[in-house]
Amino acid sequence: MAQTKELKPLTHAETELMNLLWDHSQGLTVKDLVEQYPEPQPAYTTVGTFLKILEAKGFVEHRRLGGSGRTFVYSPLLTREKYVTQVLRDVKDNLFGSSMKKMLSFFVQSEELSEAELQEILSMIAPGDEPASDTSMNPEMKIQWCTTY
């Protein structure tokens, strides 16, 4: 399950399929996966093709259902969290010059976070060390504080 090589990014369709697999940790057959999609459901062969691509990219593995037969059960080779971590690290490195401060500042500004949301984020980052509920501290000052400590 440990991945040492850098994984290729997922397409939108591959991400949808991986989300289904991540949500069902026991693994799913192609038929099970097709049934998880809303209408109009993709063709069985389309899902099978995407699973072969994901397997070649190192995202999924398969095993025979019941140890024998023609039905395969597909399972993710890495967690959603590991993939998200890699994607966000790539975004930080490639779009923000490897600066976490720039990336966080961008998201705080573009998402228009409320005062309560900022306080919640600060308490998650540095429990017990966040500034007091100082309403005079603007969001940029809070991000600067957050990335400093």
Question: In the prediction, which pLDDT does 72 show?
Answer: 95
Domain made up of 12-80: CATH architecture: Orthogonal Bundle (1.10)
What residue ranges do the domains of the chain occupy? Answer: 12-80, 97-148
Please name the helix (run of DSSP H) or strand (run of DSSP E) that holds residue 51, with its range, or none: helix 44-57
Task: Give, for all 149 residues of the chain, the pLDDT tens digit.
Answer: 444 467 788 999 999 999 999 999 789 999 999 999 999 999 999 999 999 999 999 999 999 988 778 899 999 999 999 999 999 999 999 999 999 999 988 988 888 888 898 888 888 887 665 454 554 555 555 555 554 44
Q: Is 115 helix (H, G, I), strand (E, B) or coil?
A: helix
HEC sequence for 16-49: HHHHHHHHCCCCECHHHHHHHCCCCCCCHHHHHH
